[in-house]
Structure 1
Amino acid sequence: MLAPQRQAAILDLVRRHGGVRVSELVREFGVSDMTIRRDLETLADRGLLAKVHGGATIIGPGSTDEPGFAAKSVRQQAEKAAIVARAAELVRPGSAIALSAGTTTAALAERLVDVPGLTVVTNSVPVADALYRSGRTDQTVVLTGGIRTPSDALAGPFADSAIRSLNVDLLFLGVHGMSARSGLTTPNLMEAETNRLLVNSARRLIVIADHTKWEMVGIATIAPLADADVVITDSGLSAEAQAQLAEEVGELIVVTA
């Protein structure tokens, strides 16, 4: 295989899987470690992928890029469905929980309409809407005020003031990104502070995030990985990343989409 053909095949693998390791590419193409590293260097110089330690990943968005709710809602739907199905099992009737903004938490809200006696605190318009539409009279929904962001979150001083006085059993936190170095992050500075207050209000923090959030880094850190009591993600996350997460968080739950 000629170098341009091999590089095109490498790029296709990166785009399909989100990232590759040098060792995997050496086995796949039967060439030396140095040859693969030169291929990755060439592709990185052309701006087609990002080199990382031991491999390469797709080029992620900037740290302040914030896709809208509608754009994010069509991504990784099967993975999100599996994640929220597992997350819903952690919710007990009659408990007080909080759901942050995000498409994964909105999907979780749809699953929670059948849980009796819940009190749900949220700064998410879609989450509140899903629970209101159920028509249940035994559930209480507390929707914070605030300034609406592109992700349909309510953030800012009004939201922060409402959350400061509350205490909940569980917080289900959706994140823009998570990494060993930067922790749980968001591209929105205003949402970061509101999410920090949600974290402080909860007895247990449960992060629900699909595999594409790994090594995505937003401009603002919400909390370090070690603050998460549970992280629920999907099997698309590499074994190496799973090992890193498992070392940092209280419990890692990996579901199959």
Structure 2
Amino acid sequence: MKNSMANVQARREKILSAVDQSEPVAVEGLAQRFNVSITTLRRDLKALSDMGQVKWHHGLVERTNVVTASNHGSRSGIELIKDTIAAAVPAYIVKNSTLFVNSSSLCWRAINQLAIMPLTIITNNIKATECVRHPETSIILTGGEIRYPKESLVGTVAMQILETMQSDYTLIGCDGISVAGGVTTQNIYEAQINSTMISRTKQKVICVADYRKVGVTSNYHVADLTGVDILITDNFANEKVVRDLRRQGIDVIQVSN
């Protein structure tokens, strides 16, 4: 009988723990340790490599803790995953809409993808002004205090501006989305900004999050799951969490690179 996905995910977590604790580990040694075939172990390593979690070469495995080149080319697995998620965003936005966008790096990537259509983008991300955009797109910065190193705009001024506006859509990145915690962030200064964007959206709130954020509850609450209409993530996201989020009424879109 084939392993359930839960068992596969548990084994992959154990593989990561084993690699974390030592120098590069031999593939054969890992297969013996976890009592699986070399073929099964290689399948696990391929998935973990695609996720940007490990580097696997010459029969040795080591943990990837920083953005490095992978077997996909000059970008790491996680960078490719983010690009794929960002590329899926335009399909859920209607041209000539007004769009709130928060300061997450994934949203920044999505702004570049949205250059195919005219929009009004209202954002607290200073770097949005450097993005590729449609010639008829307007980018409006909220103003406010600049928080480094992320270069996001927060504080009273940003809040006051957002409270005078409404958007058709909100595109929001997060540090966690889970049934227990809803949408959460690590940054207390951005939590209220993100919450206001969501509350002042007329049509749909689109959350973007790679697999590392799905099922996670971070420090500061942004919104309940009832505030999210669509989650765009990747096919490495925990299956059980994805099912639970769908049961909460969220349209979960999983993309593959």
What TM-score do you get using the length of structure 2 for normalisation?
Answer: 0.69
Per the alignment, residue 46 of structure 1 pairs with none
Q: Indicate if the aligned counterparts of 2:209 and 2:231 stay in contact, CA closer than 8 A.
A: yes
- Residue matched to 2:71: none
Structure 1 residues 146 and 13 mapped into 2: Cα distance closer, same or farther (>3 Å)?
same
- Corresponding residue number in structure 1 for 2:169: 170
Other structure's SS at 1:76 match: helix
Counting aligned pairs with the same residue, the percent is 22
* TM-superposition CA deviations, 1:28-64 (whole Å, max 9, x none): 638xxxxxxxxxxxxxxxxxxxxxxxxxxxxxxxxxx
CA–CA separation in structure 2 for the residues paired with 1:15 and 1:174 = 31
CA contact (8 A) 2:122 2:140 kept: yes
> Compared with structure 1, are the counterparts of its residues 244 and 126 closer, same or farther at alpha carbon in structure 2 (3 Å cutoff)?
same
Instruction: Tell whether 2:202 aligns with 1:200.
Output: no
Matched residue, 1:12: 15
The 2-side partners of 1:75 and 1:226 are apart by 31
Aligned residues: 194
Aligned mates of 1:10, 1:94 — CA distance in 2: 44
Aligned-pair Cα RMSD in Å: 2.5
Whole-Å separation in 1 of the counterparts to 2:144 and 2:221: 20
For residues 181 and 10 of structure 1, do their structure 2 counterparts lie closer, same or farther at Cα, with a shift above 3 Å needed? Answer: closer
The match for 2:234 is 234
Residues 1:145 and 1:13: Cα distance change in structure 2 (over 3 Å): same
1:74–1:173 CA distance, 2 compared to 1 (3 A): farther
CA deviation after TM superposition for structure 1 residue 251, in Å: 0.9
Q: Residues of 1 paired with 2:76 and 2:144: CA distance?
A: 26
| Deviation at residue 232 of structure 1 after TM alignment | 0.7
Q: How far apart, in 1, do the equivalents of 2:76 and 2:165 lie? A: 32
Segments of structure 1 that go 5 or more residues without pairing to the other structure are 1-7, 17-27, 31-72
In 2, the alpha carbon distance for the partners of 1:244 and 1:167 equals: 30
Distance in 1 of aligned mates of 2:143 and 2:221: 22
Alpha-carbon offset, residue 139 of structure 1: 1.5
In structure 2, the residue matched to 1:148 is: 146
Q: Which residue of 2 aligns with 1:101?
A: 103
Normalised TM-score (structure 1):
0.69
Contact 2:176 2:218 in 1 (8 A): yes
Judge conservation of contact 1:166–1:201 (CA < 8 Å) in 2.
Answer: yes
Query: In 2, distance between residues paired with 1:103 and 1:186?
Result: 13
SS of residue matched to 1:211: coil
Structure 1 position 124, deviation (Å):
0.6
Q: Structure 2: state its 5+ residue gaps.
A: 1-10, 20-33, 37-74
Runs of 4+ in structure 1 deviating by more than 6 angstroms, as ranges, are none
Q: What residue in structure 2 maps to residue 58 of structure 1? A: none
